[in-house]
Amino acid sequence: MADHNMPQQVEGGLLDAVNLALHYAMASDDSVVVLGEDVATNGGVFRATVGLKEKFGFKRVMDTPLAEALITGLAVGMASQGLKPVCEIQFMGFIFPAFEHLFCHAARLRNRTRGRMSCPMVLRAPYGGGIHAPEHHSESTEALIAHIPGIRVVVPSSPARAYGLLLAAIRDPDPVVFLEPKRIYRTSKQVINNDGVALPLDRCFTLRQGSDISLISWGACIPDTLLAADVLQQQGIAAEVIDVATIKPLDMHTILSSVVTTGRCVIIHEAARSFAVGAEISAQVSEHCFLNLLAPVQRVGGFDTHMPYFKNEHYYLPNSADIVAAALRTFKES
């Protein structure tokens, strides 16, 4: 049921989309609750939960102590007893204490009970660099979570996709880690239809059709990837741009179909290059499309270091020029 007190269309950024989706989910389902550090009275560190406490009350929007293990443990207990908790970890760099309950209980509950129980919880966390932050505020460690069976990992790259994917995550019967790239929280706006329509999980989105090369990315790297596609187009190269969106489980069908058509592939992500999700995509492309490849798969990622602090982040973060250079290498090597 729609909340008629909320606007039916909003022009806003990714952060606005998250707030809008939370409002819609809570208004249409009394079992949805929100908890985390400063999410109630202050509306969250980035203000993603502004207005929720005033509208739904402190019994459904709860401030917690600064204790990530406690937050996730509460969420697992709530989910096992019929609620749909959406818990927030203030920054991905603070997520590690939450792994105990996320990995050992949330991810295993369906398997442990042979399907008698599930764990419909969402763990939200702002992640990635680009806002000139100090230590522990710029991590891109999605590969750690993606390695664990039983957990979905979702990364939106636009306001409209953030809205639809968060609604889908809240309605999913299993645990979903919803990573919000804070670098693009407010950088671009689009019209968001507040209609409660969820987007499909476990599905890539093809943002641009192309026949010469496949550019595979997600999260905050998508705007740079689209910009790189524009530059390549000016050089007569038609790039197909795929937003992975759900990195666990991977929609390899869409990715492989694209690479079979184009014969070239560049994978772009912000996380450190070694042992990242891009390496898994590259491995599967090489296994299944080896005879279709016209050049080796290229990866554009962060360095195998911790992200530099403050304004030095730009030395680490991949950009459109890096993507174009990697794409052009695939044509030189073919």
Catalytic residues: 137
Write a three-state SS string for 107-156.
CCHHHHCCCCCCCCCEEEEEECCCCCCCCCCCCCCHHHHHCCCCCEEECC
Contact 31, 70 (CB under 8 A): no
What is the C-alpha to C-alpha distance for residues 63 and 124, in angstroms, rounded to an integer? 15
Query: Per the omega criterion (within 30 degrees of 0), is the bond before 249 cis?
Result: yes
SS3 (DSSP) at 56: helix
Give the number of C-alpha atoms closer than 13 A to the C-alpha of residue 285, restricted to the C-beta side.
31
Query: How far is C-alpha 116 from the chain's CA centre?
Result: 29
Contact 323, 267 (CB under 8 A): no
One-letter amino acid identity for 25?
A: A
Diameter over CA atoms, the chain: 61
Helices (H) and strands (E) in the chain, counts: 11, 14
In the chain, alpha helices (H): 14-28, 52-56, 68-80, 99-101, 109-112, 142-146, 159-171, 222-234, 252-262, 277-289, 320-332
Contact 239, 233 (CB under 8 A): yes
What is the C-alpha to C-alpha distance for residues 324 and 92, in angstroms, rounded to an integer? 29
Contact 177, 154 (CB under 8 A): yes
